[in-house]
Amino acid sequence: MTQSASGPYPVRPIDENEIDGFISVDEHAFNTSPWSADDRRVALDRFEFDRTLAAFDDTTPVGVTMCYSFQLSVPGLQMLPAAGVTFVAVMPTYRRQGVLSSLMRRQLADVRDRGEPLAILWASEAVIYGRYGYGRASWHLDFTLRRGEGGLAGAPAGDGLRLRIAEPEAALPELAKVYDAVLASRPGMFGRNDAWWRSAIFDPAEQRHGASPLRCLLAEDASAPRGYALYAGVDTWTGFLPENVLTVRELMAADPAASAALCTDLLSRDLTTEFRLPHRPVDDPLLYQLADPRRTRPKLNDNLWVRIVDLPRALAGRRYSCPVDVVLEVRDEILPANAGRWRLSTTTAAPGGGLAASCVPASSPADLALDVTELGAAYLGGTRLGALTGSGLVAELRPGATRQLSAALTWDPAPWCPMVF
């Protein structure tokens, strides 16, 4: 066994000729089938070899991870660089040997050195990432409605809106316009380049599991697209009774009328007995537009996890909903530059809404004491700081400090990441 400062196995980026070993670790850890040629093409289209890391036993990779280079929407019409952590995997025969810890610590150091103030991920297992400083920062709802349950009440008028079915690939320019309009206002979303759009509509026949090809419904007026839905249906019959299921992969709307028009059409499709809308924001307009919102059968799941890498830059990089002036005592065992006391105080009104803030070292007594994990959880405004204090994860040292900071951190709309990466 080769020892190194970072752990029991040396860690380094992979070369392009080592990609098969990298993929093999992921397949064994997640019990997935070998990649098809199409899987490989789409994955490598977004791959950043200089941001890969692998732990090696001799020449064999036994643990892997990678980052995507994102621009992340944070509260206040702001975009910040963020490392999108993915492909976190360890070979089953190398678990419990410090491989994951060496990879995660090296990765966070690399993110810091690149000048990215945030790292983000989707957690395959919720028990793993808190010990590396990631906190559950946003949430989503999975909806399941049945035939006849999708009626809307009091939905806004369409104002010249029309619906059009289009081929997803041909409609990409329109989809991007809608997505960018939503991105500008909702925290938690990341900007998409051409490679990410190709991934968003990736639809290999072998992965449809009996469903139709991916389809696209556009909501538009005479001047611009205002919403879209990507969806597919499964055609199933019992005798002459349809038992079809329609699943919406992604639905984006730039205004309430477009959201209502898309949902009215999709949730009333003929020959369909069940409608599934996974990964919806917790403040989805559908919850308030439906005549009977209980029929959505909402199931809550964690969404994006946030790790603050550069604390002063991250806290000063977003906007705040109301004035705040607090001193934070922050613990961070992995990135000690974040640890210590920091004064967060709002300054002036910012373009686009909210208040700008400064975050500087402080010597005065702390108002709140917390781990960087909890600060990451509260960062996007989707996890209430008061709930973290109530659970014992944040210590209030000055009465009222929790309420003040919690109110300042909250944001409308709620943070949401629509796409697993």
Query: pLDDT tens digit string along 38-92?
Result: 999 999 999 999 999 999 999 999 999 999 999 999 999 899 999 999 999 999 9
Output the average pLDDT for the chain.
96
Of 136, 146, 76, which Cα lies nearest the Cα of 412? Answer: 76
Residue 78: C-alpha distances to residues 96, 121, 350, 352, 354 (Å):
40, 19, 10, 9, 11
- pLDDT for the residue 157: 75
- pLDDT for the residue 80: 98
Give domain 11-116's CATH superfamily.
Gcn5-related N-acetyltransferase (GNAT) (3.40.630.30)
- Asked if 11-116 and 140-301 have one fold, the answer is yes
- pLDDT for the residue 6: 54
Looking at the DSSP assignment, which residues form a beta bridge with residue 320?
355
For residues 393, 395, 399, 400, the Cα torsion angle rounded to the nearest 10 degrees is: -40
Whether the Cβ atoms of residue 160 and residue 221 lie closer than 8 Å to each other: yes
- Phi, psi at residue 97, to the nearest 5°? -120, 15
pLDDT band at residue 121 under the 50/70/90 scheme = very high
CATH of domain 312-409: 3.30.1050.10
Question: What does the domain layout of the chain look like in residue ranges?
Answer: 11-116, 140-301, 312-409
Q: Which two tokens stand for residue 364?
A: 């005065």
Give the distance, in angstroms, between the CA of residue 340 and the centroid of all CA atoms in the same chain: 28
Contacts of 288 (CB under 8 A, 6+ apart): none
pLDDT tens for each residue of 254-263: 999 999 999 9
pLDDT tens for each residue of 338-384: 999 999 999 999 988 999 999 999 999 999 999 999 999 999 999 99
Of 204, 199, 226, which Cα lies nearest the Cα of 214? Answer: 204
pLDDT tens for each residue of 156-215: 777 899 999 999 999 999 999 999 999 999 999 999 999 999 999 999 999 999 999 999
Alpha carbon distance 377, 308 (integer Å): 9
Instruction: List active site positions.
Output: 129, 421
Tell whether omega for the bond before 413 is within 30 degrees of 0, i.e. cis: yes
Whether the Cβ atoms of residue 142 and residue 277 lie closer than 8 Å to each other: yes
pLDDT band at residue 314 under the 50/70/90 scheme = very high
Task: Give the other-Cβ count within 10 Å of 191's Cβ.
Answer: 13
What CATH fold (topology level) applies to the domain 140-301? Aminopeptidase (3.40.630)
